[in-house]
Structure 1
Amino acid sequence: MKKYKKIVRLIPLDQRRFKFIYIFSLLLIFCLFGRLVKLQVFNASDLQRKARLIQSSKTNSLKKRRSIVDRNNRLIAYDKPLYKLWAHPKHFNFPGDSINKVRSIEEVIEKLSPILDINDEILLGKFNNKMSGIKVLDEIPEEKAEKIKNLQISGLDLFKYSQRYYPQGELYSNLVGFVNDENKGSAGLELHLENQIKVFNKINFIKRGGDGTPLPDNSAPSDFIYDYKTLGLTIDSKLQKASFNALSKQVSKWKAKKGFAIVMDVTNGRILSLVTVPSYDPNKFWQYDSELFRGWYSQDLFEPGSTFKPINLALALEEKVIQKDGLVEDVGKINVGGWTLYNWDKKGNGYIDYPKVLQVSSNVAMIKIMQNLDPPIYWDWLKKLGINKNLETDLFESTAGQLKRKDLFVNQSIEPAVTSFGKGFSISPLKLVQLHAALANGGFEVTPHVTSTFEERVNKNSKKQFFSQEVSKTVLEWMESVVDEGSGSGAKIEGYRIAGKTGTSQKALNGSYTSKKVCSFVATLPVNDPKYAVLVVVDEPSKSYAYGSTVAVPVAREIIESLIVIEKIPPNIKDHGMIVKKP
């Protein structure tokens, strides 16, 4: 059977339909071309920017300031990670719920309340019928934030940030200071060393592919290493606490206005402890009077009184106007330029040697000793010691001491006379401990400091020498007699050679002295190998019988006892003939 092929006739396309399709196609091509031109030419820069945002992520360190640690790496200040909790009730949804289900605020609060340890009604009051953008709570610690994350509730957002925290509270506040609400240093080292503490992290960008995988680029490995440095202090926290407790107890006992205590290494100026009372909690700085934020130990000035007598004796020895084995007559009073000056007890001591001058703290004897030194030379020495200069340190900016003009000092005999027993001029407590450090270390100037970076900078400069080794040794031995036999006997510790000098000076107001006092005591130990200087200053004790020996010495003794244990200072067995019996 034959097979036949079917012949299909082609019907010509309708001309109008053909023209319509042709014109429509042209228009479509022109539209696509126009769109392409717009994207590639006119919108190119904007699209490139959007693409970079999608393809790259910005990394920045949460940490804003470096941690501050003591010499044993105990934390003093650090950036503590905290969280803010935001809620969007219109999106509340629990794990396992259908996508369209919205949980009530009460249901969410029921889960949050046990974690945040806040009453349900208090939490409910934070919502105020809002459905989005509600700040529920601030300062949520990391462990609680992790529990909230584990709830996996849609509509809850946790925003991480850092906040400066001071774990040791008031112990370091007068030294370290605090940061304000904008995370900027506002007092103490936080302010003075802002550039060393603040973290200057550059912003890094990581390029990513469509699936989020990081793409290779020209970034160096070091570009993504965050700042993990710390600001290390020379302070020892154990000694700091012991000093703070001893000073606080005495300031409270004597109802004093304030107090200061410092322990310093005389060989290099490292400060091992520096405390002031009253203090404040830097975590709640807004609750305190701003007067407490001042570093008065370097900014306030006082007349050092008898604690300056050893310095004057060193000047007299250096100028050879007295001999080591000399004597001086003390009749209890002396007339200088029409002024009658007395000893503190208005009693005479007869002919006494120089150790005895310090033991009884004789003003009259000191005046007679320093009258052997020409006033111009005396004044030049005071200037050389830096009495009227700012003290360069990494602590607060210091106030320059006050010293009379040279012409007044030279032409008015009363000026060198009162200077001989620590009156008529004023210095900061920090300056006083610096001078006694020089007296202890063989005469060399050291700069009080609390950071190693500052020490490295200072060590590049050559040290000034004020006193000879022989003069330093002599005066230190004279000061030792004050602790062994004089007003500093309360600081005597069996087996240890301790040098010291008490001071009690009246405070001046509007050019005349008042009944208010400053009681002080400075000590150096051990005398056989000087290493540490301890200074205690108590301002305006209000009880009777307030002297350096009764107010400041007991504080110094407690501090020295702690220092001996912490620094493992061995007793001087040979000189004291100590015998240790076997059990």
Structure 2
Amino acid sequence: MTTLAPPPRRPSSRPAPRPAARPAPRTFRQGDHVRRLRLWQLGLLILVTIVAGRVVDLQVIQGPTLAAAAEKSRMREVVIPATRGDITDANGVPLATTVAARNVTVDQTLVEDVEGTAAALASVLGGDASAYAPRLAGERRFVYIAKNVTPETWASVKALKLAGVFSEPTSTRVYPAGEVAANVVGHVRADGTGGSGLEHGLDDQLAGVAGSEIFESSARGTEIPTVEAAGTSAIPGKTVRLTIDRDIQWVAQDAIAKQVAYAKADSGTVVVMDPRTGKILALATVPTFDPNRPAEAVSADIGNRAVSDVFEPGSTSKVMTMAAVIEEKAAGPTTQLVIPPVLKRPAKTWHDHSPHGTLKLTLNGVLAKSSNIGTIMAAERIGGDTLYRYLKKFGIGEKTGLNFPGESKGYVPAPSQWSDTTFGTLAFGQGLSVNAVQAASVFATIANDGVRVTPSLVEGYTLPDGTYQAAPQASETRVVSTKTARTVRSMLESVVSADGTAPNAAIPGYRVAGKTGTANRIDDSCGCYRGYTASFIGIAPADNPSLVVAVFLQNPRNGHYGGVLAGPVFKRVTSFALQQERTPPTGSQRPRIPVEW
């Protein structure tokens, strides 16, 4: 097989392609360098402009705000409580005072080592480190670690330089005399405000005005010691000087506490008053409490029973009936009365506290023997409206003027509210109610020649600048004439004699006038009479009175007669107070007014 050869190719008419031309090498030209430099300058200018703008923004526009925020983050402000004013007795002896203290606090966000900080705090503050650790961990900016530590203790904590641990100034209220006058002075709550007594009633005067302290802290949360602190100074409260004499108060509390225990009574109260000025020298009540530990007290023992508790006065109220009868000239001390065994009236038959036959007593004898029948017979000579008017003049049913927190004003019904038996019961001291200070004030009126002086507990105030400001002078009200008051005082001396019901209250060397009381006591649980109020209120010296001492025992179970239970307390307290006040015996003899005829 023959293979045919391909025909020969014709030469192409297209020209052959040229090789690619190589670019000619560029040569350096001066214009390129200038252009590049300008681009760099432009970029740098833009960058500088941005930076400068940011600087201007930070320094000029936002600068003050940011600076203030930075400073605020470093600055801390704490309130400086004002130093609470002292409460002193009449001689300037502190009954309540304030000592400086610190509260240890923590900013949890700044604590670097919880366990280490807890151990360090425990080494100074005491206790176990595990008790502190929970208060150190977390995100809270303010937590109390310890309260009311001494400045020396805080100085030891501060020396540890613990991150996040700070303090705030505070104070602690201290009662140097403990239970003495506790129910008068009162106590302060944990927040520093008055909780009871005069601490509460005079809180505005005692509290002062708080200040502030501003200091700078480091990034670690510790105070920078080289930076000067700023703030406002606190203004201390006023110091209150009371009329209370601490020593007389102590004797009164001790005497009534022992007698309450002996008599197995619910409570007891003693009031010691200067009848010429109305100043209360002692206001004792038991049971009481320790104001240094108010949380441990029984709530009923924190109040002041001398003004808050009211009771029917019983025979001590006969002083007002006798004063009204004599002032109205319806009878005199030697007026002769025939006292039957019982007094029959349409609404009721009246009895005396002890059975007796027919007695021939003078009006003085009626008071000395504390005859209910004789007192009703004397009161019938002036009538109910007149008796009521004198009861009101003596201050019954009105507040004493002490302005003491929780005071009860007592009660006496108006004639329009009387039943058929009200007149008789009011005449001898039942059917009306008084507090202990009101009852003492009645006898102070007789002691002060018939002028009632508003009782007072505050002598004056010492201002923060040291200026002393006396309390306003007590108001005075004429109740009966001088002659009537002196006559009644002389009759009351017969009570404290062998002829009367309170020979146990006599004080050798002094003339004493007084009156016993053994009143039926209202029991609030049943609204009925149950138990007694045993009392004695006396005046000394009777011929130149400087003291009125009132003693009350509520619901005694070991006896109930006022002369037996309250008389000895009066004797002890009055004997001491006369010595404390440097009151000498007058040396005169009591008048011998007939008791019987």
> How far is 1:21 from its partner?
2.9
Is residue 528 of structure 1 aligned with residue 528 of structure 2?
no
Alignment of 1:31-50 (within 5 A): 31-37=51-57, 39-41=59-61, 44=64, 47=67
In structure 1, what is the equivalent of residue 449 of structure 2?
Answer: 442
> How far is 1:559 from its partner?
0.8
Is residue 163 of structure 1 aligned with residue 172 of structure 2?
yes
> How far is 1:481 from its partner?
2.1
Is the 1:258–1:539 Cα contact (8 Å) retained in structure 2?
yes
Is the 2:79–2:168 Cα contact (8 Å) retained in structure 1?
no
SS at match of 2:496: helix
Is the 2:83–2:236 Cα contact (8 Å) retained in structure 1?
no
Is residue 200 of structure 1 aligned with residue 200 of structure 2?
no
> How far is 1:228 from its partner?
5.4
Is the 2:212–2:234 Cα contact (8 Å) retained in structure 1?
no
Is residue 552 of structure 1 aligned with residue 566 of structure 2?
yes
Q: Which amino acid in 2 is paired with 1:498?
A: V
* TM-score normalized with structure 2 length: 0.79
Is the 1:506–1:513 Cα contact (8 Å) retained in structure 2?
no
SS at match of 1:126: helix
Identity across aligned pairs (percent)? 24
Is the 1:355–1:482 Cα contact (8 Å) retained in structure 2?
no
CA distance in 1, matches of 2:237, 2:197: 22
Q: Which amino acid in 2 is paired with 1:65?
A: R
Is the 1:336–1:417 Cα contact (8 Å) retained in structure 2?
no
CA distance in 1, matches of 2:488, 2:195: 42
Q: Return the match for 1:16 from 33, 36, 45.
A: 36
CA deviations over 1:80-121 (Å, ceiling 9, x no partner) = 3334456899768xxxxxxxxx99679858xx65x66x5xxx
In structure 2, what is the equivalent of residue 505 of structure 1?
Answer: 519
Is residue 227 of structure 1 aligned with residue 236 of structure 2?
yes
Alignment of 1:442-461 (within 5 A): 442-453=449-460, 459=473
> How far is 1:306 from its partner?
0.7
> How far is 1:318 from its partner?
1.2
SS at match of 1:252: helix
> How far is 1:386 from its partner?
3.2
SS at match of 1:179: coil
Structure 1 unaligned runs (5+)? 1-10, 93-101, 577-583
In structure 2, what is the equivalent of residue 580 of structure 1?
Answer: none
Greater mean alpha carbon deviation, residues 534-543 or residues 285-294: 285-294
Is the 1:126–1:136 Cα contact (8 Å) retained in structure 2?
no
Number of residue pairs the alignment of both structures matches: 537
> How far is 1:230 from its partner?
1.1
In structure 2, what is the equivalent of residue 571 of structure 1?
Answer: 585
Alignment of 1:303-318 (within 5 A): 303-318=312-327
Distance 1:46 1:365, change over 3 A: farther
From the two aligned structures, give the one with the greater helix fraction: 1
Distance 1:46 1:371, change over 3 A: farther
Distance 1:319 1:91, change over 3 A: same
Distance 1:129 1:371, change over 3 A: closer
Distance 1:49 1:529, change over 3 A: farther
Distance 1:373 1:131, change over 3 A: closer
In structure 2, what is the equivalent of residue 391 of structure 1?
Answer: 400
Distance 1:57 1:20, change over 3 A: same
SS at match of 1:178: coil
In structure 1, what is the equivalent of residue 337 of structure 2?
Answer: 328
> How far is 1:173 from its partner?
2.6
Greater mean alpha carbon deviation, residues 489-498 or residues 507-516: 507-516
> How far is 1:441 from its partner?
0.7
In structure 1, what is the equivalent of residue 531 of structure 2?
Answer: 516
From the CA coordinates, give the structure whose radius of gyration is larger: 2
Is the 2:273–2:547 Cα contact (8 Å) retained in structure 1?
yes
In structure 2, what is the equivalent of residue 4 of structure 1?
Answer: none
CA distance in 1, matches of 2:445, 2:347: 36
In structure 2, what is the equivalent of residue 125 of structure 1?
Answer: 130
Q: Which amino acid in 2 is paired with 1:68?
A: I
CA distance in 1, matches of 2:318, 2:424: 12
CA deviations over 1:133-183 (Å, ceiling 9, x no partner) = 89765443345445555x656557555432333232222332222222222
Distance 1:468 1:205, change over 3 A: farther
In structure 1, what is the equivalent of residue 45 of structure 2?
Answer: 25
Is residue 495 of structure 1 aligned with residue 509 of structure 2?
yes
Alignment of 1:466-477 (within 5 A): 466-477=479-490
Distance 1:35 1:431, change over 3 A: same
Q: Which amino acid in 1 is paired with 2:331?
A: I
Q: Which amino acid in 2 is paired with 1:67?
A: D
> How far is 1:255 from its partner?
0.8
Q: Which amino acid in 1 is paired with 2:553?
A: V
Structure 2 unaligned runs (5+)? 1-30, 217-224, 462-468, 591-597
CA deviations over 1:418-468 (Å, ceiling 9, x no partner) = 21111121122221112211111122222222113599665375x221111
CA distance in 2, matches of 1:166, 1:457: 23
In structure 1, what is the equivalent of residue 81 of structure 2?
Answer: 62
Distance 1:515 1:347, change over 3 A: farther
SS at match of 1:382: helix
Is the 1:394–1:451 Cα contact (8 Å) retained in structure 2?
no
SS at match of 1:368: helix
> How far is 1:15 from its partner?
4.1
Q: Return the match for 1:267 from 267, 270, 276.
A: 276
Q: Return the match for 2:554 from 535, 539, 542.
A: 539
Greater mean alpha carbon deviation, residues 246-255 or residues 18-27: 18-27
Distance 1:512 1:37, change over 3 A: closer
* TM-score normalized with structure 1 length: 0.81
Q: Which amino acid in 2 is paired with 1:507?
A: R
| C-alpha RMSD of the superposition | 3.7
Q: Which amino acid in 1 is paired with 2:44?
A: F
Greater mean alpha carbon deviation, residues 490-499 or residues 383-392: 383-392
SS at match of 2:579: helix
